[in-house]
Chain A
Amino acid sequence: MKYNLSKNWAATFQALTQKPAILLPFFIIAFMEGIALELIYFSARKPLAIIASPIVRKFFGESYVHYPGNLVLLPKLFFYAQIVIYIFVSVFLMSIAIQIYKNTRMSLPVVTGALVKNSLKRYAALFVYAVIVIGLILAMQKLDVLVFSKISRLVMKYIPALSNTLAPTIFALGSVVFLFVSHILIYTFLLPTLAFIIVNGKPLWKAIWSSLCFGIRNFSTVFLLIFMPFLFYLPLSIVKSLSLTIMDKTFPEINLYISTLSILISAFVDCFFVIAVTQFVLDRSDLETKKR
């Protein structure tokens, strides 16, 4: 049976407006990322510099502990901070949001203590899930570099006229699109895992397997459920990939503003597609129960 995507999105939007508590875990993630961003921003100055500068100097070089090098490095350091937050906190909080949505949908009471306790019980599974997702995202980044450096070498060899003109821009945009699509694909096959762990109470590996099968069976639906909200990220990803040029044309602090904007956007976008996919998983399991 064909699934109505616009109905899903309308219902997701309604759920978020009628029960804004679903958004709260994502606001907490944004809050933690905000703190991390502030600490990174001030890390080139004392007193934070006492701890941060030797580390930055060792791994990135002297110029990055000074202005404007520190702001050139800011997106990279913030990305590392996001990874840590994602593994230790974000997935755990996402699972709480899923529970709030499920309870609201089933007209069950939303008791904070019970929600946290339930997610804490599955913390190890959520942690491993987060590590797998991050591992895949990092692997995709490596693959992206490998693929595009190969292509650019081939272009340089066979179409040298292009290598200095259009090619760098095309490669930069191509690389952003490649990463964008690869992230959506990772979530298409793995995001339903959270719903299977939290709602159906499945153990991690079974939940991952079910998620993979679910993603394959309903590929176009899950892909589109994630793809559409993800489109809000695309302009931001393009801006991030051009951050050095933008910094040069404007002012170095622009990187701080871009990162802040990305935190704000991701709080809403992440919440939207996580709930949309959860709703789809629940709709499908309701349908199967009715069939039985």
Chain B
Amino acid sequence: MKKILILMIVILAGLFIALEFISSSHEYDAEKLFYRAMKINKKIAINPDVAPPMMVSSVEKILKDILKKYPDTEVAKSTDLALAEFYIQNKKFDEALSIIESVLKSKKSNKGMLSSAQFMKGALYEKQGKWERALQEYIKLRDNYKDTPIGLQIPVYIARHYSEKGQDEAKKAYEDAAKYYEKLANEYKGKPLGYEATNMIVSIYFGLKEYDKAGDAIEKAVEIYPLQLTLSRYAPSMEFVFAKQLKRPERVIQFYNAAMKKAEDPKLKKALQDRIDELGKKDK
């Protein structure tokens, strides 16, 4: 029995060593290092000003190691931006800017990376208190990368900046953003970007408490986009705002009636009818 046990242990150990040897993957090793760096960075980010210098330099070293040892891996692509973000967080703006510029110039960068780099360039100036410079970069981001998530969100980000500072421009910035999204929604009507732009319009008007305008945008969305997209997304907010807050359930009934016309599934039709009946009862 001892022999069998020893044999089993030897096989297990041998297999482990063999797999460790043949499975050496640059991608995996880079992912491991990246995870380690991000974990340490999470601790630093809580308060970068009091982070131990050893900790800060270890993150920098790990990220640089990834770029040096594994330049052709997928992880290396995000490591560039992670390092730039790390430099911004630790106020090493010149180092951050040079990385961002190289990402923006690199032919290897995809649209997602480019939009992130462009955003970081703006954030870098913003962190230095140079809002006007930052704004220029954000506008470039808005105009050149409108079909990326970060590019689409930037007008709201700009408006939020004014709002957080309590500046008068806030309302105007939100209205400008809404106008921009309306233009985008018309330009890309029926397409995913148009749908996302409509969602942005709705959330802006909800934020501004201009519920009628939000309702109009939702109704337009119901007309243009597939019902399964719009109904699940907007029904709860429509009921909350119009039925509960503004005590105008007829507006929600109108929305459900428009949805009923498009619905084909009998179960969905019945569910909508039930909601209409219930809202109708409350109305009386």
Contacts and interface: CB of A to CB of B under 8 A. Distances in A.
Interface stretch (A40-48, A89-97, A152-160): A40-48
B1 interface: yes
A24 B12 contact: no
B16 A38 contact: yes
A265 interface: no
B12 A34 contact: yes
Interface stretch (B23-31, B119-127, B149-157, B224-232): B23-31
B19 A252 contact: no
B4 A67 contact: no
A24 B4 contact: yes
A21 B1 contact: yes
B188 to A, nearest CB: 27
Contacts of B16: 38
A31 B32 CA distance: 28
A38 B15 contact: yes
Given A66-B31, A67-B31, A48 B23 contact: yes
Contacts of A44: 28
Interface in A32-68: 34-35, 38-39, 41-42, 44-49, 66-68
Nearest to A253: B32
Interface in B141-159: none
Given A42-B19, A42-B23, A45-B25, A31 B8 contact: yes
A27 interface: yes
A24 B15 CA distance: 21
Interface residues of A, number: 22
A35 B12 contact: yes
Interface in A164-203: none
B23 A28 contact: no
Given A42-B19, A44-B28, A28 B8 contact: yes
A20 B2 CA distance: 10
Contact of B25 (A24, A34, A46): A46
Contacts, number: 43
A24 B1 contact: yes
A31 B11 contact: yes
A207 to B, nearest CB: 29
A21 B5 CA distance: 11
Nearest to B33: A67
A46 B23 contact: yes
Contacts of A35: 11-12, 15
Contacts of B31: 66-67
A42 to B, nearest CB: 4
B5 A27 contact: yes
B2 to A, nearest CB: 9
B54 interface: no
B50 interface: no
Contacts of A68: 35
Contacts of B5: 27
Contacts of B19: 38-39, 41-42, 48
A128 B32 CA distance: 43
A48 B25 CA distance: 11
Interface string B223-250: 0000000000000000000000000000
Nearest to B23: A45
B62 to A, nearest CB: 14
Contacts of A48: 19, 23
Contact of B23 (A24, A27, A47): A47
Nearest to A46: B25
A57 to B, nearest CB: 14
Kindly name the residue among A24, A31, A252 whose own CB sees the greatest number of chain B CB atoms within 10 A. Answer: A31
Contacts of B46: none
Contacts of A34: 12
A145 to B, nearest CB: 24
B23 A20 contact: no
Nearest to B12: A34
Contact of A20 (B1, B8, B12, B22): B1
A266 to B, nearest CB: 15
A39 B18 CA distance: 11
12 contacts: A21-B1, A27-B4, A31-B8, A31-B11, A31-B12, A38-B15, A38-B16, A38-B19, A45-B28, A46-B23, A47-B22, A49-B25
Interface of A: 20-21, 24, 27-28, 31, 34-35, 38-39, 41-42, 44-49, 66-68, 252
Given A31-B12, A39-B19, A42-B20, 9 more contacts: A27-B4, A27-B5, A28-B8, A31-B8, A35-B15, A38-B12, A38-B19, A45-B24, A47-B22
Interface of B: 1, 4-5, 8, 11-12, 15-16, 19-20, 22-25, 28, 31-32, 35
